[in-house]
Amino acid sequence: MKKAIFIIFAVLLIDQLLKIYIKTNFFLGESIHIFGFDWARIYFVENNGMAWGAEFGGRKGKLFLTLFRLVAIVGIAYWLVTSIKEKASKLLIVAISLIFAGALGNIIDSVFYGLIFDTPGGRNVATLFSENPYGTLFHGKVVDMFYFPFIQNAQFPSWIPFVGGETFTFFNAIFNFADFAISCGVGVLLVFNKRVFPKES
């Protein structure tokens, strides 16, 4: 239990400190290189929906998505508590803790950020605890900032159907620390599947 609490607290702390710093020090769309590398950047964007910025249903769709996340995290919390009580594999508890913490980190954005930040235009940065918040409860935007375009302006071979000859960037997703934690948790479940879910003899 202590390990799970530590992981969750550490992920949430790092995630929220990074997001608050980015929002209050970067203007929307601002990008800087990390250690001078073109393929490693801090790039401030806000995600109003799902992965890769997908959206649906406007404000009602956003509300549904936030409520769905809240229901999902209750399920993850139940899974974590049950696993701890049943003295499951330590790797499983670590993985679920990472997934739970990452999901909760993004839920905090979705639920509260619309109430505590404004969204100034141009090259101005956001203000924390603004008197003119940009949204309402459950309608906040998730802050993303890590961008690693390892391969840029590459071209698909012409013989590939549908996309042949078109250019692409790999890896073109912009994500945050909470997303990273979720990916690590899922990665542990996949890579160490046999140890995480041992078959009963």
pLDDT, tens digit, 9 for 90 and up, residues 141-199? 999 999 999 988 888 888 998 888 888 888 889 999 999 999 999 999 999 998 888 77
Which pLDDT band, with edges at 50, 70 and 90, does 63 fall under? confident
What does the pLDDT read at residue 23? Answer: 95
Distance of CA 150 to the CA centre of its chain: 20
144 as an active site residue: the answer is: yes
Q: How confident is the model at residue 110 (pLDDT cuts 50, 70, 90)?
A: very high
Structure confidence at residue 49 as a pLDDT band (50, 70, 90)? low
pLDDT given at position 108: 95
- Examine the residue annotation and report whether 179 is marked as an active-site residue of this protein: yes
Do strands 142-147 and 37-47 pair parallel, antiparallel, or not at all (unpaired)? antiparallel
pLDDT at 59: 73
Which of 15, 109, 118, 144 is the catalytic position? 144
Average pLDDT over the chain, rounded to an integer? 90
Question: How confident is the model over 42-51, as a mean pLDDT?
Answer: 82
Q: What integer pLDDT is reported at residue 61 of this predicted model?
A: 73
Contact 133, 118 (CB under 8 A): yes
Residue of 15, 109, 118, 179 marked catalytic: 179
Query: So what's the pLDDT on residue 45?
Result: 94
Model pLDDT, residue 54: 58
pLDDT for the residue 181 = 97
Q: Which residues lie closer than 8 Å to 46 by C-beta, 6 or more apart?
A: 28, 141, 142, 143, 144
Alpha carbons 130 and 151: distance in angstroms, whole number: 39
